[in-house]
A and B are shown apart, each in its own frame.
Chain A
Amino acid sequence: MSQPRSSAEIGALYQEMILDHYRRPRNKGTLENADASVEMKNPLCGDEIGLQVAFEGDCVCDLKFSGRGCSISQASASMMTQLVKGKSSGQIDAIRKQFRDLMLGDSSAADDPEMRSLRALSGVARFPARVKCALLAWNALASAMAERPSQGTPS
């Protein structure tokens, strides 16, 4: 059997920044005139994310999220909205892939300067049962990106 988690691992998981985003989520609410609206659930644990995105050309010009769930899912959504606002679909795709790699245990992904606040979620990789919580908002974003008007061929 896997050993119980160490206090250090728990501490690395629940960093101050995560609790801050959990208690004071950024960009939470609903967006007037959204171009894409996506709802995603994690049926296993009941985490829910609603994501509304407005595009300007190839860029995400604004987005808001709603929903409820654990600190990891909500903090991840909050950080994501801050990070992707104003970015092009190509840039967002690259960050999303890096973040996915980070969650799946590739710690070198954290070296990417674009990752910024997302590094606070690095500790999640040590908790396989929680990885899907961290990825929920990003999966919702991928789905919203696919809905954007005049969508070009994905790179």
Chain B
Amino acid sequence: MKLRRDSELSPDLKLRADFPLLVNNPGLHYLDSAATSQKPKAVLDALRDFYETANANPHRGAYALSVRATELYHQSRLRIAQFLGVRDSDSLIFTRGTTEGLNLVAGSWGMANVASGDEIVVTAMDHHANFVPWQVLAMRKGAKFRVCELTPDGKIDLDFLNGLLNKRTKVVAFSHVSNALGTINPIPEIARMVREKSDAILVCDGAQSAPHFPVSFDSLGVDFYAFSGHKMLGPMGIGGLIGNREMLEEMPPYQTGGDMIEFVHDDRTTWNVLPLKFEAGTPNAANAVGLAAAVEYLDRIGMDRVRSHERALMSAAQERLSAIEGLHIYGPPASERSGVLSFTLGDVHPHDLATILDGEGVCIRAGHHCAQPLMRRLDVPATARASFYVYNDESDIDALVAGILKAREIFGYAPV
């Protein structure tokens, strides 16, 4: 395929009609998909269908309905594993979302394997969900917690990272894509460096990558990859953790209770096999079915096409926003970024900007994006963030630009 420049791409997907919330709100310009995505009718139908035709507690009943629920839960895991390039679907554990997946690795692998004097590395662009669990683990274990600095244009400083690694490094946690800047991090380079200088496990926060471009876990080169269903057209409350099978086998359970046990004796308990060992309690079968419908929908579009649509939108948005006097865009060039655009406008506080944009029907995020360490380094209390997905088109960018100009009109322009 001939490689085209971003400016030559056109955002050709026209999918708004598939999303009931957007259909019901014709004037709404939803630009906060990095926080959560809207849901296509296919996903809502799948949820309803599960509850209307298959609802029972999986893995428990001997009756046909429970068998059906179990089967659908299992099929959903296979479908999602296929979507994310995981051949061994038993190494895909359903979680509430990325946060739970990362806490699972820190709480289980970390508690069992990190000792006093060991070192844990995270990056300054990590979401709190991939920062705080490791910070807490380090404090509990007396391990050293080290934060990798960034380059001025918002990428992981690979030289700095290289300098942090040594034989005591036990964990390197980083995000595939920064939720605040959109930076796409080079996993192969990071993995090579980490493998060469340490025996650390690589833990990747995939919350912002799985929804937006093709991801194949088996060839990614990391040991753990966590993702959220609700950011990729699926329901809230479901996501997954994909892990290295051998590590998962050796790890102690994260939570205990129903579904994850094999035998409970009065004095001890043995654990179920993967993946159920890490899925205590009644499984979130309905939402797993919903997420399977979401990846089915994404596959029908094609993840390459999802990516090129977003790149085209990003390129257009970048061009139009940078033409606005006083508007500052954070992060690397558009071509090295996912569909996330983080910016400030003169001395207009991002919350005021978001309120004024709300007046124009434009939903953006304003705040620290759960990345306070990053905000400190950018030396801003907050940024405004517009993020794109499959249902957005150029009219959303028009509305965004009009809203920003309106904010300038209300506030006047005062450079910071």
Chain A residues proximal to chain B, CB less than 8 Å: 1, 4-7, 9-11, 13-14, 19, 23, 44-48, 68-72, 127, 129-130, 133
Contacts and interface: CB of A to CB of B under 8 A. Distances in A.
Interface in B355-375: 355-356, 358-361, 366-368, 372, 375
Interface residues of B, number: 28
14 contacts: A1-B24, A1-B25, A4-B359, A9-B359, A10-B355, A19-B410, A19-B411, A44-B367, A46-B381, A48-B381, A68-B381, A69-B381, A71-B352, A130-B351
B382 interface: yes
Given A46-B382, A127-B355, A4 B361 contact: yes
Contact of B349 (A10, A44, A69, A127): A69
Given A19-B411, A45-B351, A46-B381, A7 B367 contact: no
B411 A14 contact: yes
Contact of B375 (A10, A46, A127, A133): A46
A102 B242 CA distance: 51
Contacts of A70: 349-352
B356 A10 contact: yes
B115 interface: no
B351 A10 contact: no
Contacts of B358: 4-5
Contacts of B352: 14, 70-72
A86 B36 CA distance: 49
Given A1-B24, A1-B25, A46-B368, A133 B351 contact: yes
Nearest to B29: A4
A10 B410 contact: yes
A70 B270 CA distance: 54
Interface of B: 21, 24-25, 27-28, 347-352, 355-356, 358-361, 366-368, 372, 375, 381-382, 410-412, 414
Contacts of A19: 410-412
A90 to B, nearest CB: 33
Given A1-B21, A70-B352, 12 more contacts: A4-B28, A5-B358, A10-B356, A10-B410, A14-B352, A14-B411, A45-B382, A46-B368, A48-B381, A71-B349, A129-B355, A130-B355
A5 B367 contact: no
Question: What 6 A-B pairs come out closest when comparing CB atoms?
Answer: A70-B349, A70-B351, A5-B359, A10-B359, A4-B361, A46-B381
A23 B367 contact: no
B359 A23 contact: no
A6 B414 CA distance: 25
Which among B25, B27, B355, B372 has the greatest number of chain A C-beta atoms within 10 A? B355
A14 B359 contact: no
A13 B356 CA distance: 10
Contacts of B351: 45, 47, 69-70, 72, 130, 133
A41 B276 CA distance: 42
Contact of A6 (B348, B359, B410): B359
B399 to A, nearest CB: 10
Contacts of A44: 367
A123 B27 CA distance: 23
A141 B265 CA distance: 58
Contacts of B349: 69-71
Contacts of A130: 351, 355
A13 B355 contact: yes
A14 B410 contact: yes
Contacts of B350: 70
Nearest to A23: B414
B127 to A, nearest CB: 15
B136 to A, nearest CB: 18
Contacts of B28: 1, 4
A88 B11 CA distance: 62
A72 B355 CA distance: 11
A23 B366 CA distance: 20
A48 B351 CA distance: 13
A45 B353 CA distance: 13
Given A70-B352, A71-B352, A4 B381 contact: no
Nearest to A9: B359
Contacts of B411: 14, 19, 71
A13 B407 CA distance: 12
Contacts of A6: 359
Contacts of A23: 347, 414
A68 B376 CA distance: 13
Contacts of A14: 352, 356, 410-411
Nearest to B367: A45
Contacts of A5: 355, 358-359
